[in-house]
Amino acid sequence: MGAALGKVYLVGAGPGAADLITVRGARLLAQADVVLYDALVIPEMLELCGKADLIAVGKRSGQRSMAQTLINQQLVDCAGKYQLIVRLKGGDPMLFGRADEELRALEAAGIEVEIVPGITTAVAAAAATKQPLTKRGVARSVAFFTSSTAPDHPEQRNAAPPALPETDTLVQYMGGREAAATAERLLAAGRRGDLPVVVVENCSRVDQRIMRLTLADLAHGLEPGHGPVLVMLGEALAKREHQP
C-alpha cells in the first residue's frame, strides 16, 4: 500500500502584516512540510515557515500568473508527497479566495481539508482608517463585492450586483481599475456625488496609503497603484468631527 495522503489546510494570511495572521495559522506554518503561498504574502510571513518547502503560486491582477487549474493540481500532488500542506491565501480563504475551486479538486481526490480563517481586508481597512463600516442610525448593511470575474464569465465584469444601490456601506475588493465604473453606476442609480469614499492601498503594510475622496471624485478614476486596492463607500465613511 502507498503512503497515506497528507492533509491540506487552507489558511488565511490576513490583509498583509505578518502579525495579523491568526495564532492557529502561524502554528500551522511552523509545522508545515510545504507551503504554497500567494503573491501578496510578504517575506516576513514566510519567515514563520520554519521547516517547510516554499512554493510560490501567486496570482496578480494584470500580470502573468499561475492558472488556477495548475494550483489545484499542485495541491493534489503535494498531498501525495507531504503530510501537512498549507495553502496560504491572502485575506480569508472563503471570501474572494477561490477556495471553492481548490476544495472541489481536493475533495474529488479524497484529500482531507481544513479551513483556517483570516482577517479579511475590509475589516483590516476599517481598523486602519478608524472608520467603522456600520454606524447606528446611519448604516446597518454592508456588501463586499468585486468586479474580477472568472475567464469563462466575462459578461459579469460590468454588471453591478443588484443589491448595491440599496446597501448602506459598499466595499469593493480589487477595486483599483474598476472603481470609476462602480462610481458611475452608483451615481446613475441616484447616489449623491459627495458620498464619502475611502480608498486603502496595501492595507496593514508599511507602505499602506489611505485616500479620502467623494463618489464624484472616484468617477474620474484612481491613479495606478502599487499594490492591492480596497474601496469603501457610504455615509458611515464620513470623517468624524475630531478625527485626525
**How far apart are alpha carbons 197 and 238 in whole angstroms?**
8
Quick check: is 100 catalytic?
no
Q: With beta carbons less than 8 A apart as the criterion, state whether 52 and 87 touch.
A: no
Q: 135 an active-site residue?
A: no
Contact 230, 200 (CB under 8 A): yes
User: Measured over all CA atoms, what is the biggest interatomic distance in the chain, rounded to whole angstroms?
Assistant: 69
96 C-beta neighbours (distance < 10 Å), count = 18
> Do you know the residue count of the chain?
244
12 in Cβ contact with 117 (< 8 Å): yes
Catalytic one among 7, 33, 53, 59? Answer: 59
Active-site residue list: 38, 59
